[in-house]
Structure 1
Amino acid sequence: MGKTRLEAFSDGVLAIIITIMVLELKPPEGHELSDLFRDWPKFLAYVVSFIYVGIYWNNHHHMLHTVKRINGNVMWANLHLLFWLSLLPFMTAWAGETHFSAVPMSIYALDLLICGLAYVILQYRIINADSSNGLLLRAIGNDSKGKISTALYLIAVVVPFFGFFGTVLSGIIIIGNTLLWVIPDRRIERVLAEEEAKPMT
């Protein structure tokens, strides 16, 4: 099967996820600047989650440039990823409204971990779907970046239960992982550029 409908559906779902997140932001009750700053945890959680969804949209877009054909397994793996991403508005609101308490932070990090694992599953479903999708396998290589990211998420899930500084460390790790992935996947761009540079036969 072609990939067009999968791309269009994924773009639509990710756009809705971002829309839901921004609708969760309520205006402050007061009319002073200090009233706005009082809700900084909600706004910070929104910004981080917005960037995360943007990263997934960007890298998903790059990944699908390597894809020629998909099958049913790829479609289900893509839905699996979208399911965990669709929980981000709820997790974001919970973490922000509780001012990043231990349990909400841990569950938020757990959702991000599962999103990352779901993305890896989708990658390998695509690779196994058709021999024409081999460019993706070349691009990800041993995926050291993905392994580092997974290990960091695991730490971010556990450390909030070690007191205030553990919660802060979890937040730092989550933001650090954002910076790790915020640049579009250069591995895919490089492989696509090499493929385009090959002489026509």
Structure 2
Amino acid sequence: MGKNRMEAFSDGVLAIIITIMVLELKVPHGEELATLAPLMPVLLSYVLSFVYIGIYWNNHHHLLHAARQVSGGALWANLHLLFWLSLFPFVTGWMGENHFSALPTAMYGVVLFMASIAYWILARLIISTEGKDSLVARAIGRDSKGMISTLMYAIAIPLAFVAEWMAQLLYVAVALMWFIPDRRIEKVMPQHAGSAVNTIQDP
């Protein structure tokens, strides 16, 4: 089945998630710069989550751009991913309001961990539909970067109860790893296009 509706629906959900997160930012009562100080934890957690949502939107776009079609299983896997991403406003607000304390920081990591697993499931279902030699399969490859990210989330969750700042540092480190858009699919696309042209031109 076509992928356009799934992509459009996902874009809409991600836009709503960002809107909900920004609405959690309360306007300070006062015009001095000092009135922003109590809001800094909430603002910092918002910035981190905004970057993460942007990363997922970017990679999700590239993934579907490379895919030719999606199966019914992929539709459910996409909803599974959106479920975990929809929890970002909750854990973002909880973590910021409680000044990055242990339990909210750990739960933020749980959502990150589960979202990464959900994205992996979605990618694997698309590959299973299109085949191991498909554009998506060749672009993703072994996905070492994704596995390292998931491992770092898994480490950060229990670490939050020992040293919250170290868990936060891991979350920031993963975000920085993915801040530059993943070029794997973009690198494969020109080769794929060239192959398609050659196929058409060959008798």
- TM superposition score normalised by structure 1: 0.95
Q: 1:192 pairs with 182, 189, 194, which one?
A: 189
Aligned-partner Cα distance in 2 for 1:32–1:69: 54
Deviations 1:135-193 (A, max 9, x none): 1111111111011111110111111111xxx1001111000000111121111111112
Report the equivalent of 1:174.
Answer: 171
Contact 2:91 / 2:108 at 8 angstroms: preserved in 1?
yes
Preserved CA contact (<8 Å) 1:55 1:181 = yes
Could you say which residue in structure 2 is the equivalent of 1:54?
Answer: 54
Measure the CA separation in 2 of the matches of 1:158 and 1:190.
Answer: 37
Matches within 5 A, 1:126-141: 126-131=126-131, 134-141=134-141
Shift in CA distance, 133/21, structure 1 to aligned 2, threshold 3 Å: farther
Measure the CA separation in 2 of the matches of 1:55 and 1:87: 16
Corresponding position of 2:78: 78
Rate the CA distance shift 1:92–1:176 in 2: closer, same or farther, 3 A.
Answer: same
- Does the aligned pair in 1 maintain the 2:113–2:150 contact within 8 Å? yes
Question: What secondary structure does 1:30 align onto?
Answer: coil
Identity %: 54
Conservation of the 8 A alpha-carbon contact between 1:103 and 1:160: yes
* C-alpha contact 2:132 2:138 (8 A) present in aligned 1: no
Distance 2:66 2:132 in 1: 9
CA-CA distance at 1:28 after TM superposition: 1.3
Structure 1 equivalent of residue 35 of structure 2: 35
Shift of 1:32: 1.7
Does residue 1:88 correspond to 2:88, yes or no? Answer: yes
> Which structure 2 residues correspond to residues 15-30 of structure 1 after superposition, within 5 A?
15-30=15-30
What are structure 2's unaligned runs of at least 5 residues? none
Give the SS at the match of 2:26. Answer: coil
- 3-state SS of paired residue (2:134): helix
Distance 1:108 1:30 in 2: 30
Q: Distance in 1 between matches of 2:41 and 2:190?
A: 41
Conservation of the 8 A alpha-carbon contact between 2:131 and 2:137: no
* Runs (5+) with no aligned partner, structure 1: none
Q: Which 4+ stretches in 1 moved above 4 angstroms?
A: none
